[in-house]
Structure 1
């Protein structure tokens, strides 16, 4: 572990996540509803083009959105989450080639968590973007490094995780969405690349994370019994813990 690498990784995670609060605000809408085109609080429309999606320190959009979430999803929370996640990855992986392959996934993971926390959705375009960022670099690493076994293990882990979560999702009253199934399968791929212990830790940890969170929300009156809780953030946190445990 190199302290400069950890600091650089953390800075990257925080800086990249700082551009995402408005993206989260616009995408956190019910299924079938188009992304927000204006601030729900003041009614001011978003600018056209990239400026309408990415802006740091915007005073408009999202204040009511962030207040409505039972847990912090505002700019500071997203920046802190991105910095912490990237730092933990760097601490766990050090200078190995897997680190630069996984670091770009951090801001997308933060974005997915923020959207899921607000509207209980993991939009397919975001999950697809995460897959496009995570899978190709690991495939390239395995092929260039002459380690096809790691690639086969990653694919097997993704298939097993996807099948397991799909079976649970098909059961009645489970509250598990197909977005959770896709995300679980996707996150199992890099965990499988690292090894089966990482897969086991990464698949068990989400359910250990969600329990204390549910208790906290009940105790602080931010949720009631029967309130649906998003699984996406726990899946992402569990995958991070799986990497740390690898």
Structure 2
């Protein structure tokens, strides 16, 4: 009895989603440099009446210590998206990521069909699940994961081009990666830009499979992440989960935009 390709792909997506949080824990947040503040020796105070020392103690007790988040709304907004993960787990909820994996893999299989390039898209999707969890929880896109997505998709697309007898699509894939890289470098260098070079590298890696699909898919994949990210930011601002200066991950929007472009192309 044959298995439906979409069902098989969705099952692989569930497995990839269950594994993604565990793999993501291997890439914890980069620890911030500790503040080196040497305490100043306190000068001895002259003897004072009891009522004076009591007043001084009452006045100084309301001054918060350095690094305290008491009374400051920023304490609860440092990593706003982590609070949306069920149970606040640093690595994300495996069940939620498994559901996302099933949708992502099943959607790619339904849209792309049994074409030889499908394994390349599924490989990028598997690595993308890990990258999304890492970026949401740690605000970083590790080079080893981005490199694995680029190398894996490039190798799989080369095999697909040989199998399908369409080597002319490989230059389009490379052109898509190069164009994505150049555009995102420009965006990252703009004044007050919040894009990091991890986002630039991921955009280039995603440009390979999008370029393989053609220019409409590539342009759609370049535009959709900004639209999706804008909607998320507005929603978070509306529910007061973030401020205008809160740093948010852009990797999930890049991945979601590339997935939509691949499905709609």
Q: TM-score, normalised by structure 2?
A: 0.75
- Equivalence for 2:242: 223
Distance 2:138 2:27 in 1: 9
Which of 155, 173, 183 aligns to 1:136? It is 155
Which of 194, 198, 202 aligns to 1:179? It is 198
Q: In 2, are the aligned partners of 1:31 and 1:121 still within 8 Å (CA)? A: no
Cα distance, 1:19–1:67 mapped onto 2, change above 3 Å: farther
- Equivalence for 2:82: 69
Whose Rg is larger? 2
How far residue 3 of structure 1 moved from its aligned partner, in angstroms, is 8.5
Instruction: Please list the CA deviations of residues 173-200 of structure 1 after superposition, one character each: whole Å capped at 9, or x if unmatched.
Output: 1011001001001101101101111101
The DSSP-based 3-state class of the residue aligned with 2:195 is coil
Q: In 1, are the aligned partners of 2:141 and 2:198 still within 8 Å (CA)? A: yes
How far residue 143 of structure 1 moved from its aligned partner, in angstroms, is 3.2
Cα distance, 1:99–1:32 mapped onto 2, change above 3 Å: farther
How far residue 70 of structure 1 moved from its aligned partner, in angstroms, is 4.1
How far residue 107 of structure 1 moved from its aligned partner, in angstroms, is 2.1
Structure 2 counterparts to residues 46-57 of structure 1, below 5 A: none
1:168 pairs with 2:170: no
Instruction: Please list the CA deviations of residues 73-99 of structure 1 after superposition, one character each: whole Å capped at 9, or x if unmatched.
Output: 321221111111001101110111121
1:16 pairs with 2:29: no
The DSSP-based 3-state class of the residue aligned with 1:19 is helix
- Equivalence for 1:49: none
- Equivalence for 1:4: 4
Q: In 1, are the aligned partners of 2:80 and 2:241 still within 8 Å (CA)? A: no
Q: Which runs of 5+ in 2 are unaligned?
A: 34-78, 86-91
What's the C-alpha RMSD, in Å, of the aligned pairs?
Answer: 2.2
Instruction: Please list the CA deviations of residues 94-151 of structure 1 after superposition, one character each: whole Å capped at 9, or x if unmatched.
Output: 1111212321222210110011111211000111111222110101222343322211
Distance 2:231 2:94 in 1: 24
How far residue 155 of structure 1 moved from its aligned partner, in angstroms, is 0.7
